Amino acid sequence: MSQPSDWPLSKGAVRLVVPEHLVNELAEHPVSAELYPTALGFYPHAMQHAMRRLKHDDYLMIYVVEGEGRLMTTNGQQVLVPGNVFIIPPGHAHEYAANTSKPWSIFWVHFRGHHAVDYFKHLSSSEDNIALNSLVDLGLQNEFRALVDAAYSAFVLADFVYCANRLKQLLSYMELRLRRHQERPGEIPLERLNTYMREHLHSTLTLDQLAAFCHLSKFYFARRYKSLTGVSPLQHFTQMKVEQACLLLENSVLSVSEVAFELGYEDALYFSRVFRKHKGLSPGQYREHKLPASKQGVDA
């Protein structure tokens, strides 16, 4: 196992090395064998922190929270700033160090497992090391902090199995945020678009408006959206309206006509036809089916 640095811990710093016998058990346990941490920690304002390895036999991930540092590999040198993540796979010599005037604060974790390479490839197409920039993300910091906190109180195998699954969650979350953060030209920003749709459930959106929000042509947008989601953008928007209608029918005393108005439908009969097409029931029937008898009687 690649050993972490012996940097003198400062106030608030954490360095945890999983005992060797537990590492062996994690490697055999069916719930943790695919991916598990071997060492991890948090170094705040890590003055004079530096490490050089010619031999490396696990995966190393470092996330820069504050300050600056540098990474040197066979690919050259790179300056690292807040938001940078780098992962170095086994077998790659490397060297890294905190900036002397602006020392970095970093979360770090060494990990292994039968599927560690798959998680690595999920985050990068590189065969060497990766540096993923501009991922300043509070949620990612919280995921790292939760992993370190879990390991800090870990004592027996079951505790470390839990840590292994926190690590899986962290890497999955990282991939999600990177994919959404690094939108390519011509790609649809699904997360922002869905938020935009939800903010306009009370109104009517056209295909032209949705395409304009994404800065794409109407025809390309419609074709690409369906290839990504399996439905057309307007079908998805209607589904959102119907699901919101279900919430209003279940949790409010609004009449069907009022629910229709809340969702931008001026014609309650048309709204009812749309609702029945998606749910197989009229809005009134849906409310009767979902609510207990004591809460029924709302004017449909």
Residue-wise pLDDT tens digits, 20-66:
999 999 999 999 999 999 999 999 999 999 999 988 889 999 999 99
Burial of 147 (0-12, 13-18, 19+ CB in 10 A): buried
Instruction: Compute the distance between CA of residue 295 and CA of residue 300 in angstroms, rounded to an integer.
Output: 13
CATH of 190-295, one of 3.30.930.10, 2.40.30.10, 1.10.10.60, 1.20.1730.10: 1.10.10.60
Give the Cβ contact number of residue 142 at 10 Å: 12
Residues of the chain with CATH 2.60.120.280: 14-181
Model confidence at 226: pLDDT above 50 = yes
Instruction: Compute the distance between CA of residue 88 and CA of residue 94 in angstroms, rounded to an integer.
Output: 8
In this prediction, residue 188 carries a pLDDT of: 83
Model confidence at 129: pLDDT above 60 = no
Q: Which of 157, 236, 154 is nearest to 201 (CA)?
A: 236
Residue-wise pLDDT tens digits, 151-183:
999 999 999 999 999 999 999 988 887 766 655
**Considering the chain, what percentage of its residues have pLDDT values greater than 90?**
65
Alpha helices in 182-265 (DSSP H): 190-199, 207-213, 218-229, 233-251, 256-262
In this prediction, residue 298 carries a pLDDT of: 44
Output DSSP code: residue 103.
B
Average pLDDT across the chain, whole number: 88
SS3 label, residue 146:
helix
Q: What would the mean pLDDT of 288-297 be, rounded to a whole number?
A: 61
* CA dist list (Å): 286 to 72, 116, 187, 238, 261: 62, 47, 38, 17, 18
Instruction: Compute the distance between CA of residue 271 and CA of residue 263 in angstroms, rounded to an integer.
Output: 9
Instruction: Compute the distance between CA of residue 142 and CA of residue 158 in angstroms, rounded to an integer.
Output: 22
Residues of the chain with CATH 1.10.10.60: 190-295
In this prediction, residue 180 carries a pLDDT of: 67
At 182, list the tokens: 């690094």
**Fold classified for 14-181:** Jelly Rolls (2.60.120)
